[in-house]
Structure 1
């Protein structure tokens, strides 16, 4: 594992594909409401929005295949269904959300144009980048990401060092760490890891890098660079929200708070900087999501370039249509999908990282099935059926925190390994 120029270019490219609309909007408001418990909130947020996604990149480095490899030990059919669900969610929610955020924060306040015009121009540019996917790593890593990183750091550091004797209000959260953990779901970073990790691998292969050991080192190193970038930005933005929490109303929206922070820290020019930040962050994420989706479909159809182009066009058209809804609506609609797909994604990432002797196909199947079963109450509760599932959730460990799947998955992993090892000992040697 080495850190050189190539590592940092790939790392910044990976960072830019992670760091999109949700990554900008969620941390400041989380910090504002967390108040004096901002450190615990940050810890929970970092687990779900930095550590688990980083594990996802490490899993890609170990597998170096497609996303189908993440669930192949369960069954080929399950793997295909899981991948299709993840990619559908990705192009139907986080990708269009990037256009919606760009319009609300970077376009409408300055030009007053319609959301339709913003989305059409926005996804036309995304289409152009995705169709030139061989240049994606260099464009993102060399040019767009450094601009993004510098602007965010400016807001954070100016804000932190400009406040004298800050007064931080008490927290509004009963369980700050759990709140941060669940809010990290909305960044889609764990799902993003299994999607954009594949983009990095395919980009390396396109460049002719086929050495497994070398690629593994590069992917792990670039993942660490991206992870450190996310950690710095998330921590700084959560703390900034807490630092200025007495200057904003508790009912402030995510976009209003972000605009307010940029105005306080950077003055009138802050809006211009924020516009650049929002546009770059959202755009790079949309490019990463759609490139990953198109790569996957292309692989299903025997590397057909026509399938790649058609998928890209469909994803961009879908982005234009769904991008017409406001940010809050898309965030609310995303919750049920996240409650269902996120636990399975986390479990698959962890299982793929563990040594092979602990993850036999039988173990994979049992843990994933149990995770899905115990995720159903959280999913049903998120679509308005709380009165039916609350009695069940109250009896399950961490059920009231929307983590009913966690303990059953861990217990199943341990039990199935003990069972499979005992079974192996009972089998007589030939």
Structure 2
């Protein structure tokens, strides 16, 4: 049977699909805020952001292609299961899916409400009434669509992606036309080390984590299209990855400069979504905001449905006692509950977790690319990932302590206070490691461990290998 080959149009379509996978509407909120806060240092912060929000997802997809869809095969089964589960939880019910609902509210609903400060009390919890009602309805719809998937989601996706791309192109052109050319002074970490701050900001997109899962999904789709040859799968996945990366870079660069030149439109904004809404309202009026709300709301909905569906699929296979439908209901409820933390709070809470997990994902991509240089690839994978996790934990604890202080640690739990105290206790030791003050203490030790594994493998390789 002849192996099917894709046409140029098929490959472009595959690339746009990969672009749509990555560009959840939540990704639209990070670049405007980063650009606004970076000010004059926007080019440096933007380069750092592009490294982790475009370069690493691209590398992740290529790594999956290189590993023939089995990027975690060198890890012990339990470790691979735990890492995959952690990634699905992070990009699913813990952060990414609830964030989709919050972005839909922040951009699609909140600007049109006269009063968004009413509070409803549920037990000891004080929740925003409008946000609570919206998230309940939003994740109710998500649950129904995930329970009864059909042609509706395909139809919405086919219409939505061109609309979203058209909107983003329009925004990019408007930035060029309306940009004032004056940027404010950078603040906080953007003033002292904007490049590394941009790198850390890129963690928030969660796209490097998602690339490890999306790569396997794309390979499965290629197989369903009749592309069974591994070399062809790799070639098509790599081409699709470059198309997706180009699209993401275009979006992020334009949104960075939108934020950097927002001026008074960014004053008082707590999230990039508010900056984006203010900008569209200023230059395109209420109809522009309506268009933005519709497209972003639908994008958030399809993103949330996709995340709930994929997480339910994964955990139904991992936990045979729980059916797919039971998990859809459970995860939808969890997403609705988590969403009521609030967008700025959810982002603040997610960063320490990402600081711990992201180094592991980056190390996994790195050792996958360098696999042919290792004498013992399984051992190298485990050593590199353990080193990255160990130092990533301390990076995450430092950020967690800072976050808890901003939330007033005196009003939180004993666990929060213990984290703050422990972070302060280890800080004098960890500060001796390069880049600890910039949130990347994991980088140098991980690279050193990989280099040592390469050197040891090179020196111990049997001299008779070629003769055999």
- TM-score of the superposition, structure 1-length normalised? 0.89
Q: Look up the SS of the partner of 2:228 in the other structure.
A: coil
For residues 287 and 214 of structure 1, what CA distance do their matches in structure 2 show? 30
Is contact 1:339–1:379 with CA below 8 Å preserved after alignment?
yes
Query: Structure 1 pair 310/196, CA: closer, same or farther in 2 (3 Å)?
Result: farther
Verify: 1:188 aligned to 2:206, yes or no: yes
Is contact 2:15–2:243 with CA below 8 Å preserved after alignment?
yes
Verify: 1:46 aligned to 2:54, yes or no: no
For residues 39 and 105 of structure 1, what CA distance do their matches in structure 2 show? 26
The equivalent of 2:75 in structure 1 is 74
Query: Structure 1 pair 5/127, CA: closer, same or farther in 2 (3 Å)?
Result: farther
The equivalent of 2:139 in structure 1 is 123
Query: Structure 1 pair 313/70, CA: closer, same or farther in 2 (3 Å)?
Result: farther
Q: Given the alignment, which residue of 290, 299, 310 partners 2:308? A: 290
Verify: 1:425 aligned to 2:426, yes or no: no
Paired positions, count? 424
Query: Structure 1 pair 109/234, CA: closer, same or farther in 2 (3 Å)?
Result: same
Matches within 5 A, 1:262-281: 262-281=280-299
User: How far is the alpha carbon of 1:281 from its aligned partner?
Assistant: 3.1
Is contact 1:298–1:308 with CA below 8 Å preserved after alignment?
yes
- What RMSD over aligned residues (CA atoms) do the two structures have, in Å? 2.8
The equivalent of 1:397 in structure 2 is 434
User: How far is the alpha carbon of 1:39 from its aligned partner?
Assistant: 0.9
For residues 151 and 362 of structure 2, what CA distance do their matches in structure 1 show? 30
Is contact 1:169–1:246 with CA below 8 Å preserved after alignment?
no
- TM-score of the superposition, structure 2-length normalised? 0.82
Verify: 1:324 aligned to 2:340, yes or no: yes
Query: Structure 1 pair 191/134, CA: closer, same or farther in 2 (3 Å)?
Result: farther
Q: Given the alignment, which residue of 98, 101, 125 partners 1:99? A: 101
Q: Rg larger in 1 or in 2? A: 2
Q: Given the alignment, which residue of 237, 243, 247 partners 1:225? A: 243
Is contact 1:137–1:203 with CA below 8 Å preserved after alignment?
no
User: How far is the alpha carbon of 1:134 from its aligned partner?
Assistant: 8.1
Is contact 2:153–2:302 with CA below 8 Å preserved after alignment?
no
For residues 130 and 265 of structure 2, what CA distance do their matches in structure 1 show? 31
For residues 319 and 167 of structure 1, what CA distance do their matches in structure 2 show? 40
Is contact 1:134–1:203 with CA below 8 Å preserved after alignment?
no
User: How far is the alpha carbon of 1:136 from its aligned partner?
Assistant: 9.3
Structure 1, gaps ≥5 residues long? none
Verify: 1:85 aligned to 2:103, yes or no: no
For residues 186 and 7 of structure 1, what CA distance do their matches in structure 2 show? 28
For residues 291 and 222 of structure 1, what CA distance do their matches in structure 2 show? 23
Q: Look up the SS of the partner of 1:414 in the other structure.
A: helix
Write out per-residue CA displacement over residues 248-299 of structure 1, whole angstroms, 9 at most, x where no aligned residue. Answer: 3266543321211111232232211220232133223323323332332354
Q: Given the alignment, which residue of 389, 396, 419 partners 1:372? A: 389
Matches within 5 A, 1:167-316: 167-172=182-187, 173=190, 174-245=192-263, 247-249=265-267, 252-300=270-318, 307-316=323-332
For residues 271 and 96 of structure 1, what CA distance do their matches in structure 2 show? 22
User: How far is the alpha carbon of 1:62 from its aligned partner?
Assistant: 2.5
The equivalent of 1:110 in structure 2 is 112
Is contact 2:355–2:392 with CA below 8 Å preserved after alignment?
yes
Verify: 1:29 aligned to 2:45, yes or no: no
